[in-house]
Structure 1
Amino acid sequence: MGCSWLLILGLIQIVAHSLEIQGSGEEPIPVIAHNVTGVLEEDVYLSCEYQGSAQINKAEWKRRISSSKFKRLAGFSNGELFSRGDFSKPDSSTNLTVRMKVSSVEAEGEYICEFQEEEENPFGSVFVTVIAKPDIRIEVNSETINDTHYQLVSCSAVGGRPMPQIIWLVGDRPPSDFPFTVNESKTLHSNGTSTLISTLRFPTHLQDEESVICVVKHETLPNPKSTTANVETYARPNVTIKAEMVQQGGHDSWVVSCISSGGRPDTEISLALNGNNEVERESSANSDMKSLSVRLPVIEYEGHNITCVFKHPKFLYAESQRINLPTFYLSGIQFRSEVGSNSNEFLELQEGDSNIVISLEVTGNVPRYSIICKK
């Protein structure tokens, strides 16, 4: 029986508390999103809905200008829906959901949603944070310092808010400290946005990737944005020296050629003789090969050394190749015939001999010789 009286007493207290709340006239709180993020130059929605049952005389979105002044933006007044500036008209007098265009960073701040009923003015507030999507640009420049060619790839995230983050990838990996360097510069703009410029610098001859990637991370990007820049690369050339004999106007000459192929950029070629005489030099180049040639009289340049010197950014040091022009000599001549005696100097024929075949054997390393036969 004691337990029953305690239960009845508890029920009486709950009912009394409920009647006290109803009698207090406690106002219904509007349903509102309290934190909203808007992107500059895009639309954002502010929602606020009245949940009570009283007649709404007036409802509006407003923003505080000073301690005692507010700017009316959109709402319901005098039986009509209204809007100003960057705001759309709300859905109804009890549903103040509006579309706002975020036209400047100054749109960031607190907005108040307020309803006026017969006895109370329930209200709520929302804070709008403004962010700005950066414009991503990339460009490649170059410079030469102390005969070393450098490339500078600049990636710019322009007009972002807050400040974005930029990282680099070379061959799908972050660049190493050497030979790469990364410099950043930041600029704050009067409209509340900022620009971040990251510059990747490297000597061209020390990297072999044909492209680099700039990756920008920012709150406005669902996924990091990657932008690829094509860069110049160097290729190690194949170099060689060769000599071939040509005949022109009845005279024999050596054509000695220094040849570079498959290199990028062009190889710097020089040709050195172990003599002071001026000789005719010829240069030729196409998309894949470059050569430097010299024409030398065979007799004058017997036994000379010719050196080709090749300079290229992919060579740690200048590469040299040498060729030694041969010295020609005639060691002996021997006559042979089916008749008469063989001799190294002469061949005697007898009167009346006919249809005689005479052969001449020459020993030595002469490139060519001519025979004059006189009767």
Structure 2
Amino acid sequence: MELPPLTALAFCLVISTGSLAQHVSVEQSVSGLLGTQLALRCQLVDPGKTVTVTQVAWVKDPSGAKTNLAVYNTTRGTTYPSKTGKRIVFRKPSLVDATLVIKRLQLKDDGNYSCQFATTPGGNQAGTTKLTVLARPTNTGTALLVRAGDAQVAVASCKSSGGKPMPRIAWRGAVMHNMALGVVSNVEGLFSVTGMFHAVPTGLMDGEEVECIVTHQTFEQPQVIPVTLRFQYPPIVTIEGYDGDWFLNREHASITCNVKANPTAHTYSWKMNGREIPTSIRVVGHQLTVDSVSCNVHGTFTCTANNSLGTSSGSVDIVVRATSATAAGNGLGSYENLPGNKQVGTMFSFMR
């Protein structure tokens, strides 16, 4: 949310040294966004009208370089000695309200500002405001395309650029990770922060989403940038569709070769018991279909896929029984998934 013109992020009313009868009222500190407009409020409070004001002035860095910004008095009128091109002006020249307006805030506007009233009797009275210029950063998140492997590497990058003060970056996600942080500040005082997401890349992590979280003083709440991880890896092959109940004469029994790979697998092949698939079995794309189950399809089916990074296979043992296990209700034909993407069924003899 942008700061509205003439509005400070935070302020605290202070009273300058002097009598309780009159005082200079200013804000102790204010903050504004780079490029926006902001007002430094200053008033002489004199309920009893005990003094006469002859001049009001604003000075930046009064205890250092001391730059005169704006002066108003009853004789010479209004002058702007620093030649700011009408960017820093009185809101409305007055001997009572000396509020100063700074347009199009710049980083160099950071500093202390003294509002000074020349009065008689009493001499000069002043109040000081500290101005902090803030810059809202821009945030980006990027996945780094890397090959799957055993070592932890940078797999995603999050950058928060052009912030003041320095942004803070964190990562979250289900993937085990570490973060490396690098900070770069340019000559104008703006900060660029890069957070690298380090993990051990695997094919199973490809497509996982992690989140970069950027926190900054100019944000009402942290900004969340989703990043989808992208890895290159050989094919991961699994065979699905076998229900453990292939019985004689069952129609249209099928299994499917599912392949996850990056780059995409470009060739697939099926074998039965290490040999070519019988002509009685139909193969369309990834799917293998048996129109009518017979003893000839009792065995191990293997699907092999390859891409530019390698070749992988997945197998399933098909058990053909005389009758449906479901119909028999005897629980035969149970199977389990074992490591290595291989599904194994229990072997049974056929009843003739």
Match of 2:60 in 1: 63
Q: Deviations over 1:133-152 (max 9, x none)?
A: 11111222211154999883
TM-score between both structures, scaled by the size of structure 1? 0.56
In structure 2, the CA distance between the partners of 1:205 and 1:116, relative to structure 1 (3 Å rule), is same
In structure 2, the CA distance between the partners of 1:59 and 1:271, relative to structure 1 (3 Å rule), is same
TM-score between both structures, scaled by the size of structure 2? 0.59
Q: CA deviation at 1:182?
A: 2.2
Q: Deviations over 1:295-335 (max 9, x none)?
A: xxxxxxx999876254699xxx95334679xxxxxxxxxxx
1:215-226 paired onto structure 2 within 5 Å: 215-226=213-224
Q: Deviations over 1:103-158 (max 9, x none)?
A: 43222211111111234111121111222211111222211154999883322111
Mark the runs of 5 or more structure 2 residues left unpaired by the alignment: 1-17, 243-253, 290-295, 320-352
**Is 1:319 aligned to residue 314 of structure 2?**
yes
Cα distance in structure 2, aligned partners of 1:195 and 1:307: 55
Corresponding pairs, count = 272
Match of 1:229 in 2: 227
In structure 2, the CA distance between the partners of 1:76 and 1:236, relative to structure 1 (3 Å rule), is farther
- Are the aligned partners of 1:258 and 1:271 in contact in 2 as well (CA < 8 Å)? no
Q: Deviations over 1:63-96 (max 9, x none)?
A: 24885x6322124133534455231323322211
Cα distance in structure 1, aligned partners of 2:171 and 2:150: 26
Match of 1:329 in 2: none
* Counterpart pick for 2:25 among 15, 31, 39: 31
Mark the runs of 5 or more structure 1 residues left unpaired by the alignment: 1-23, 242-256, 294-301, 325-375
- Are the aligned partners of 1:240 and 1:321 in contact in 2 as well (CA < 8 Å)? no
Match of 1:299 in 2: none
Cα distance in structure 1, aligned partners of 2:297 and 2:132: 86
Instruction: Tell me: higher relative CO, structure 1 or 2? Use CA pairs within 8 A at least 6 residues apart.
Output: 2
Match of 1:360 in 2: none
Cα distance in structure 2, aligned partners of 1:303 and 1:117: 107
- Are the aligned partners of 2:137 and 2:161 in contact in 1 as well (CA < 8 Å)? yes
In structure 2, the CA distance between the partners of 1:26 and 1:66, relative to structure 1 (3 Å rule), is closer
Which letter maps to 2:54?
A: N
Match of 1:111 in 2: 113
Which letter maps to 1:218?
A: H
Match of 1:129 in 2: 132
Match of 1:90 in 2: 91
* CA RMSD after TM alignment: 4.9
**Is 1:195 aligned to residue 192 of structure 2?**
yes
SS in 1 for 2:89: coil
Q: CA deviation at 1:195?
A: 0.9
Is the deviation greater in 92-101 or in 187-196? 92-101
Q: Give the structure with higher Rg (CA).
A: 1
1:150-229 paired onto structure 2 within 5 Å: 152-170=155-173, 175=174, 179-202=176-199, 203-207=201-205, 210-229=208-227
In structure 2, the CA distance between the partners of 1:214 and 1:148, relative to structure 1 (3 Å rule), is same
Cα distance in structure 1, aligned partners of 2:151 and 2:288: 24
In structure 2, the CA distance between the partners of 1:232 and 1:137, relative to structure 1 (3 Å rule), is same
In structure 2, the CA distance between the partners of 1:168 and 1:116, relative to structure 1 (3 Å rule), is same
- Are the aligned partners of 1:306 and 1:322 in contact in 2 as well (CA < 8 Å)? yes
